[in-house]
């Protein structure tokens, strides 16, 4: 039997990058998929994720237009999961990333960072846990970052937001473990997506090789590295894993 046979998963930010790969990985293991995103097509173009996984893996899949800073949109994603048979796995993946000069950050810029990365995760968790408790349990996975473990002067707002996600994860694991809901966080390092090629050009920028040399494996991550970690946390392979931070960064943080 596939690892997620008969499960239903919601992935926020599932149209592109890491979220798209998580959707593909889950679908390859039998899960029905709700792609919750502000855009239907991937940032780089191509077939929408829900259409791709339905065609490739024969699973039920749907798209819900979702701005994670709006709780009503998150509720719509949860309702779509119920229509597919009931929510089992929810991945809070949607997020934004940018560099900054700390003293020049505006209130609107900080609000945007916190609204998407923290508020979106908070209320995504809220609607997910409500459904999971009613259904008898589930797995909630929050995408934090190595920036949620270590500070960086170039990314103060981002580190603040991802540190919040880390402690939110631990708190929810404590509160809802007795209800059968496991809550864990993934902390990616530099992963080859538009976030680090376009939004903040770590890859392709003049400092690329210096960043690579900081990673003991001497390579950047790819979305499949995170998809595989998410599959572990979503499946029964991690049935006794709760309130944990899974760091996927090639060894950079702890060396």
What is the tens place of the pLDDT at every residue in 120-144? 999 999 999 999 999 999 999 999 9
- What mean pLDDT, rounded, does the chain reach? 97
10 Å CB burial of residue 101 (0-12, 13-18, 19+) is: exposed
In a domain, 199, yes or no: no
Under DSSP, is residue 149 helix (H, G, I), strand (E, B) or coil? coil
Q: Is residue 253 in some structural domain? A: no
Question: What amino acid positions are annotated as catalytic residues?
Answer: 158
Sort 151 into a burial class: Cβ within 10 Å, 0-12 / 13-18 / 19+. exposed
Residue 157's domain comprises 8-191+222-240
| Total count of domains within the chain | 1
Closest CA to 140 of 101, 179, 112, 103: 179
User: Could you tell me if residue 247 is inside a domain?
Assistant: no
pLDDT of 1 above 90: no
CATH number for the domain spanning 62: value is 3.40.50.720
DSSP letter string over 18-84? HHHHHHHHHHHTT-EEEEEES-SS-TT-SS-HHHHHHHHH---EEEEE--TT-HHHHHHHHHHHHHT
Q: pLDDT (tens digit, 9 = 90+) per residue, 82-91?
A: 999 999 999 9
> Which pTM does this prediction carry?
0.97
Residue 15 in domain:
yes
Residue 252 in any domain: the answer is no
- pLDDT tens-digit series, residues 2-50: 999 999 999 999 999 999 999 999 999 999 999 999 999 999 899 999 9
């Amino acid at each position: 039997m596939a690892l997620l046979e008969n499960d239903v998963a919601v992935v926020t930010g599932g149209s592109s990058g890491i979220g798209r790969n998580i959707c593909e990985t889950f679908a390859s293991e039998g899960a029905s998929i709700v792609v919750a995103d502000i855009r239907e097509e991937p940032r780089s173009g191509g077939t929408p994720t829900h259409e791709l996984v339905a065609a490739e893996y024969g699973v039920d899949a749907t798209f819900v237009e979702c701005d994670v800073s709006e709780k009503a949109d998150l509720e719509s994603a949860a309702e779509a999961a119920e229509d597919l048979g009931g929510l089992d796995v929810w991945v809070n993946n949607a997020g934004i990333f940018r560099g900054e000069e700390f003293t020049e950050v505006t209130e609107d810029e900080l609000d945007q960072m916190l609204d998407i990365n923290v508020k979106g995760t908070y209320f995504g968790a809220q609607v997910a846990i409500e459904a999971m408790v009613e259904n008898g349990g589930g797995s909630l996975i929050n995408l934090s970052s190595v920036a949620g473990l270590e500070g960086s002067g170039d990314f103060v707002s981002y580190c603040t937001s991802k540190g919040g996600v880390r402690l939110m994860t631990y708190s929810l694991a404590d509160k809802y473990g007795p209800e059968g809901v496991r809550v864990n966080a993934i902390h990616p390092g530099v992963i080859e997506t538009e976030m680090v090629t376009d939004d903040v050009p770590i890859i392709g920028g003049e400092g690329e090789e210096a960043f690579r040399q900081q990673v003991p494996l001497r390579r950047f991550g790819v979305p499949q590295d995170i998809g595989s970690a998410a599959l572990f946390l979503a499946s029964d392979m991690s049935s006794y894993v709760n309130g944990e931070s899974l760091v996927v960064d090639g060894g950079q943080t702890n060396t």
